[in-house]
């Protein structure tokens, strides 16, 4: 008895053909186009759930290129951020980059297949913005300490307690992997957001 598996639309390392083309369209130091809610097709994509990255693919050429181009995007002077998720550049996989303000040198590090395993009881409200929601911000209540499991850049399973502002960044970016936008947590939703120049 033979079993035949057909994977439609997939290319390599778990990326769909169009996603792989998108990643390969520039050098490692070249930023990618940000998907924003200003574009209807981008907005639909940002609401889609993402796929896990297989351990064996973490250090592949394609996933490494994606990670480097995501870094170039989030550190670009025109749209600097403190974190980014793969769906924000049009790739539907579970990869986020987070700036670790709690570590020496404040590095921006990659996290593969991250999951929040525990939310602490301490919750604070704070203003958040998003590269995919340009020009606006809103007040979001987030846990101030969380426990996160993920695969590191060597493919090793890790579990870590994260606190303070960095915990907020993790929650924001991990939300993207489930198609959740920060304004979904804002009372009144998108319509309640404030322009950046207003208090």
Catalytic residue at 104?
A: no
Give the three-class secondary structure for 25. coil
CA distance 96 to 8: 25
Cα first-last separation, the chain:
67
CA distance 74 to 92: 17
Per-residue pLDDT of the chain (199 residues; tens, 9 = 90+): 444 444 445 568 899 999 999 999 999 999 999 999 999 999 999 999 999 999 999 999 999 999 999 999 999 999 889 999 999 999 999 999 999 999 999 999 999 999 999 999 999 999 999 999 999 999 999 999 999 999 999 999 999 999 999 999 999 999 999 999 999 999 889 999 999 875 4
CA distance 62 to 66: 6
CATH number of 30-189: 3.90.45.10
Taking the complete model, does pTM exceed 0.85, yes or no? yes
Residue of 12, 19, 161, 173 marked active site: 173
Give the three-class secondary structure for 53. coil
The β-bridge partners of 148 are 116, 160
CB proximity list for 133: less than 8 A, separation 6 or greater: 36, 37, 181, 182, 183, 193
> Domain extents for the chain?
30-189
| Residues 50-68: b if buried by 16+ CB within 10 A, e if exposed | bbebbeebbebebbbbbbb
So what's the pLDDT on residue 79? 86
């Amino acid at each position: 008895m033979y079993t035949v598996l057909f994977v439609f639309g997939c290319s390599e390392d778990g990326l769909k053909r169009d996603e792989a083309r998108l990643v390969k369209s520039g050098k490692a130091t070249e930023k990618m186009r940000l998907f924003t809610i200003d574009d209807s097709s981008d907005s639909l994509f940002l609401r889609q759930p993402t796929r896990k990255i297989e351990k064996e693919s973490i250090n592949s050429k394609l996933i490494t290129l994606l990670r480097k181009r995501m870094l170039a995007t989030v550190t670009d002077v025109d749209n600097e951020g403190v974190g980014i998720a793969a769906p924000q550049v049009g790739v539907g996989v579970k990869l986020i980059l987070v700036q670790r303000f709690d570590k020496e040198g404040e590095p921006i590090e990659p996290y593969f297949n991250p999951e929040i395993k525990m939310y602490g009881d301490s919750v604070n409200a704070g203003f958040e913005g998003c590269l995919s929601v340009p020009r606006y911000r809103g007040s979001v209540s987030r846990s101030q300490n969380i426990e996160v499991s993920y695969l590191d850049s060597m493919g090793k399973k890790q579990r870590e307690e994260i606190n303070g502002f960095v915990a907020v960044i993790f929650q924001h970016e991990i939300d993207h992997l489930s198609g959740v936008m920060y304004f979904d947590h804002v009372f009144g939703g998108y319509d309640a957001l404030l322009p950046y120049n207003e208090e």
